[in-house]
C-alpha cells in the first residue's frame, strides 16, 4: 500500500507540472463543451486531437492527460442539455433526461444542474480511488495472460459490446466484423504480403487511425446534421430558479450517489461496457429500491432527485473505471479509450501490465490527473451553468462548417496526403449509411483497434500448438472468458424466448 501511495505521489508530481495542469484545464473545458452539444462527443474531439498532439510534440503522458480530461469532461457536460431541453448530449445522459428535465420544468433546473455536478464528482472521485486500489492488483493478475488468454479476452470484449450495448446484436456483430476486416488492410506482419491494398501505395501501411475515426464519427455526424435529424429548430431554456442545491438535498441523495458509484465502477471494469449501461442499471436498481421502501414518496419519472443523483454518479464512475481495462489489459472500454489506446501504440507503447513498470510516470500521472481534472470540472460546472446553456443555441449552419474544417486539417496534417482526405469522405459516407441502418459505430472501431492484437495472438497460439484449435480453451482463464462471452450473447435471447408473451410485453 505504501508503494502505491508513493507511486501516486509521483503521479501528482507529473500531473502537477504547469503544462499538464494547463492541458487538464483545457481538456475539461473542451470536454464539457463537447458534452453539452448534442451529436458531438468525446470520440470526435479526441480523434481530431490525435494529429495535433503529434504536431505539437507532446510527450505521451501529456497527451493522455489531455484526452482523459476531455473524456471525463464530456460526461459532466452531457447532463446540461439533457436537463434543460431534454436532449442528452451523450448516450450515457439518456437516463439523466428522465428525471432532470421534469425537474427543470418544475423550476428546479439550477438545483438539478448543480446536484448533478456534485454527484458526478462523487462518482468520479470514488472510481478514481478504486483505480488506485484495484489497478495494481489487476495488472499483476494480468501477467498470467498469454496469447491463448488474450484471444479469449478479445472475444469477451466483443461479446460485451454487442451483448450489453446494442439491442440488435446481429448488426453489432456485423460492425465488429467490418472493423476486423479493415484492420487487415496493409502489409501482413508475418509474411510481408500486401493484403487488400488494391495496388494503392497509400494503403500499404493500412488505414490511418485518425482518418478512419474522423470519417466514422465526425463526417457521418455532420451528414446527419445536414439532413436535419438532430437539428433543434428552437431552443428554449426554462427559468432555472435556485441555482444551488442545499444540505438537506445533498443528504437526501447521498446514499443514492454511493450506490450509483459502486454500480458504475464495476460496470466500467467490463471491456465494452460504460456509462450507458451503468446509468441504466443504476437507475433501475434505485427505482426498485425506492418504490419498495416508500411507494407513496417515489417521484421517479416525474423529477426525483435520487434518480438523477444515482444516474450521474454511475455514468461518471464508469467512465473513470473504464481506464482500468485499458491500462492493465490493453482493452479499450469505449470508443474514446480505443482512440487513446491507438495513440499509445503510435508512441510505440504497449498498454498492458508491463506498462506499470515500464512507464510508471505515464500511468500514475494519468491516474493523478483524474483527481485534478474532476476538481477542475466541479469548480467550473457549477458557476458556469448559464454560459454552457447559451452554447446550445449554436445553429447547425455554424457548427457543420467548423466540424468540416477541423476534421480536414486534422486528417491532412497526419500524412499531408490528399488521398487521406478522399478516404475520410468515403468512410464518412459509408458510416452515414450504416448509421441510417442503425448499425452501431462503437463495435466497428473496437474491432479495428483490437483486430491486430487478436490476429497476432491467434497466430501465436496456433503456432505454439502446431495448428491445434483446442489450445484456445486450454486454460481455466480462457474457458471462463469463453463461457462468459457465450452467456452475454446467448442468455438474454434464451430468456426472452423462455418467457411467456405476457411477461415479455410487461418487460418491454
Full DSSP string of 332-360: -SSHHHHHHHHHHHHTT---STTHHHH-H
H or E element, residue 186: strand 186-187
Q: With beta carbons less than 8 A apart as the criterion, state whether 333 and 277 touch.
A: no
The pLDDT of residue 140: 60
Task: Name the 3-class secondary structure at 146.
Answer: coil
Which residues of the chain register pLDDT less than 70? 1, 37-41, 85-92, 94, 135-136, 138-145, 160-168, 210, 217-218, 221, 225, 228-242, 270-277, 295-298, 301, 333, 353, 385-403, 406-407, 410, 413-416, 442, 492-508
The gap between the terminal CA atoms of the chain, to the nearest Å, is 47
Q: With beta carbons less than 8 A apart as the criterion, state whether 81 and 74 touch.
A: no
Q: Within 10 A of 344 (CB to CB), how many other CB atoms are there?
A: 22
- Tell me the C-alpha distance between 302 and 190, whole Å: 59
Each as own residue / partner, the long-range contacts of residues 285-292 (CB below 8 Å, 24 or more positions apart, any chain) are 285/259, 285/310, 286/256, 286/259, 286/260, 286/310, 289/259
Residue the block writes with cell 410485453: 505
Q: Within 10 A of 131 (CB to CB), how many other CB atoms are there?
A: 24
Residue the block writes with cell 490476429: 455
Task: Name the 3-class secondary structure at 455.
Answer: helix
User: What DSSP line would sit under 189-253, residue for residue?
Assistant: TTT--EES-TT-GGGTT---HHHHHIIIIIIHHHHHHHHTTT--S----------S--HHHHHHH
Burial of 98 (0-12, 13-18, 19+ CB in 10 A): buried
Please state the separation of Cα 337 from the chain's center in Å. 6
Q: With beta carbons less than 8 A apart as the criterion, state whether 11 and 367 touch.
A: yes
Residue 194 pairs in a beta bridge with 187
What's the full length of the chain, in residues? 508
- Tell me the C-alpha distance between 109 and 242, whole Å: 8
Residue the block writes with cell 504536431: 55
The pLDDT of residue 1: 62
Q: How far is CA 140 from CA 136, 208, 327, in A?
A: 6, 33, 12
Residue 187 pairs in a beta bridge with 194
- Tell me the C-alpha distance between 194 and 341, whole Å: 25
The pLDDT of residue 500: 52
Sign of the dihedral defined by the CA atoms of residues 36, 271, 451, 56, in that order: positive
Each as own residue / partner, the long-range contacts of residues 358-361 (CB below 8 Å, 24 or more positions apart, any chain) are 359/60, 360/7, 360/10, 361/10, 361/11, 361/14, 361/61
Read off the pTM.
0.64
Q: With beta carbons less than 8 A apart as the criterion, state whether 212 and 203 touch.
A: no
Q: Which three cell numbers stand for residue 294?
A: 416508500
Looking from the CA of 449 toward its CB, the CA atoms found within 13 Å total: 32
The pLDDT of residue 298: 64
The pLDDT of residue 505: 37
The pLDDT of residue 410: 63
- Tell me the C-alpha distance between 83 and 426, whole Å: 36
Q: Which residues contact 248 (CB under 8 A, 6 or more apart)?
A: none
Kindly calculate the radius of gyration of the chain based on its CA atoms and give it in whole angstroms: 22
Q: Within 10 A of 294 (CB to CB), how many other CB atoms are there?
A: 9
Amino acid at each position: 500500500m505504501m508503494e502505491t501511495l508513493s507511486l501516486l505521489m509521483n503521479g501528482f508530481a507529473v500531473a502537477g507540472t504547469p503544462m499538464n495542469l494547463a492541458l487538464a484545464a483545457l481538456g475539461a473545458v473542451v470536454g464539457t463543451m463537447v458534452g453539452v452539444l448534442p451529436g458531438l462527443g468525446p470520440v470526435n474531439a479526441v480523434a481530431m486531437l490525435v494529429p495535433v498532439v503529434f504536431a505539437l510534440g507532446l510527450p505521451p503522458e501529456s497527451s493522455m492527460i489531455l484526452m482523459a480530461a476531455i473524456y471525463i469532461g464530456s460526461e459532466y457536460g452531457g447532463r446540461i442539455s439533457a436537463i434543460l431541453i431534454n436532449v442528452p448530449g451523450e448516450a450515457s445522459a439518456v437516463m439523466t433526461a428522465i428525471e432532470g428535465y421534469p425537474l427543470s420544468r418544475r423550476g428546479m433546473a439550477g438545483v438539478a444542474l448543480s446536484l448533478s455536478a456534485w454527484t458526478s464528482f462523487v462518482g468520479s472521485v470514488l472510481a478514481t480511488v478504486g483505480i488506485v486500489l484495484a489497478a495494481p492488483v489487476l495488472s499483476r493478475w494480468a501477467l498470467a495472460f498469454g496469447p491463448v488468454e488474450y484471444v479469449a479476452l478479445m472475444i469477451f470484449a466483443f461479446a460485451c459490446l454487442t451483448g450489453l450495448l446494442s439491442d440488435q446484436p446481429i448488426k453489432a456483430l456485423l460492425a465488429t466484423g467490418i472493423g476486423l476486416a479493415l484492420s487487415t488492410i496493409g502489409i501482413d506482419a508475418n509474411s510481408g504480403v500486401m493484403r487488400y491494398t488494391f495496388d494503392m501505395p497509400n494503403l500499404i501501411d493500412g488505414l490511418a487511425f485518425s482518418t478512419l475515426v474522423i470519417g466514422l464519427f465526425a463526417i457521418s455526424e455532420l451528414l446527419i446534421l445536414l439532413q436535419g435529424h438532430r437539428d433543434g429548430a428552437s431552443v428554449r431554456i426554462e427559468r432555472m430558479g435556485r441555482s444551488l442545491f442545499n444540505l438537506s438535498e445533498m443528504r437526501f441523495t447521498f446514499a443514492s450517489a454511493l450506490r450509483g458509484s459502486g454500480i458504475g465502477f464495476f460496470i466500467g471494469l467490463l471491456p465494452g461496457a460504460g456509462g450507458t449501461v451503468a446509468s441504466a442499471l443504476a437507475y433501475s436498481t434505485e427505482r426498485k429500491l425506492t418504490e419498495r421502501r416508500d411507494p407513496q414518496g417515489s417521484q421517479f419519472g416525474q423529477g426525483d432527485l435520487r434518480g438523477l443523483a444515482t444516474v450521474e454518479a454511475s455514468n461518471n464512475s464508469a467512465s473513470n473505471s473504464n481506464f482500468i481495462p485499458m491500462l492493465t489489459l490493453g482493452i479499450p472500454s469505449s470508443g474514446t479509450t480505443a482512440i487513446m489506446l491507438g495513440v499509445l501504440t503510435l508512441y510505440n507503447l504497449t498498454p498492458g501490465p508491463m506498462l506499470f513498470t515500464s512507464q510508471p510516470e505515464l500511468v500514475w500521472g494519468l491516474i493523478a490527473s483524474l483527481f485534478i481534472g474532476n476538481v477542475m470540472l466541479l469548480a467550473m460546472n457549477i458557476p458556469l451553468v448559464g454560459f454552457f446553456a447559451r452554447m446550445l443555441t449554436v445553429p447547425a449552419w455554424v457548427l457543420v462548417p467548423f466540424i468540416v474544417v477541423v476534421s480536414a486539417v486534422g486528417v491532412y496534417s497526419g500524412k499531408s496526403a490528399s488521398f487521406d482526405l478522399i478516404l475520410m469522405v468515403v468512410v464518412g459516407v459509408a458510416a452515414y449509411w450504416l448509421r441510417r441502418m442503425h448499425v452501431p459505430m462503437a463495435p466497428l472501431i473496437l474491432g479495428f483497434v483490437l483486430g491486430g492484437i487478436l490476429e497476432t495472438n491467434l497466430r501465436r497460439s496456433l503456432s505454439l500448438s502446431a495448428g491445434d484449435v483446442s489450445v484456445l480453451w486450454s486454460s481455466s482463464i480462457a474457458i471462463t472468458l469463453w463461457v462468459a462471452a457465450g452467456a452475454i450473447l446467448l442468455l438474454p435471447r434464451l430468456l426472452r424466448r423462455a418467457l411467456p408473451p405476457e411477461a415479455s410485453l410487461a418487460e418491454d
